[in-house]
Amino acid sequence: MVVLIAGCSHTGKTLLAQKLLQQYHMPYLSIDHLKMGLIRSGQTSLTPEDDDALTAYLWPIVREMVKTAVENRQNLIVEGCYIPFDWAHDFPEPYLADIRYCCLIMSEAYIDAHYADIKAYSCAIEQRAPGGTPDKAALIAENRHNLALCKRYGCDYILIDSVYDVTLTL
């Protein structure tokens, strides 16, 4: 099985991937690691701020890695914000039975009530640059946008609304 964990920055994608690794002993790939490897090695002129262009650049690579894992009956967790919402269109029907997608979404109410916690826990799994947390309005807008796209494309999502208790049973 391949698990795709999507969502905008600071929603806990890496934390959930780490939990699933520990619970199910499945390896995971952080798309951010792939991105930074390609950027730092000079394989692309894109920068970490080029989100849409990075999705177009990284997704074909990640997509083929997912196909390879499915074909080899290997378990893999892939997490990152560079998974397009129409991801399922890139896989033949038989593959979809072995792929699980989930997008993490924080509600506006959650962000309003817990913005200080979001900032405080931003380095729970990975080290971020100081000041790397988006401002509250940007987080709200991006999560609202992702929720609309999940609904538009019929993507599964976990809505974090009152308490941060994100689990995924496989």
Segment 113-152, tens digit of pLDDT: 999 989 887 655 555 455 567 899 999 999 999 999 999 9
Q: How many folded domains does the chain comprise?
A: 1
β-pair partners for 3? 77, 100
Structure-token pair, residue 60: 């074909």
Q: Is residue 78 part of a domain?
A: yes
Q: Is residue 140 part of a domain?
A: yes
Task: Write out the residue range of the structural domain in which residue 110 sits.
Answer: 2-160
Q: Is residue 167 part of a domain?
A: no
CA distance 117 to 136: 12
Q: Which CATH number characterizes residue 81's domain? A: 3.40.50.300
CA distance 25 to 15: 15
Q: Is residue 170 part of a domain?
A: no
CB 35 within 8 A of CB 48: yes
pTM equals 0.92
Q: Where are the alpha helices (DSSP H) in 72-167?
A: 93-96, 108-120, 136-153
For the chain, what's the residue count? 170
> Looking at residue 88, what DSSP letter applies?
G
Nearest alpha carbon to residue 146 among 3, 4, 8? 8
Question: Residue 27 pLDDT more than 80?
Answer: yes
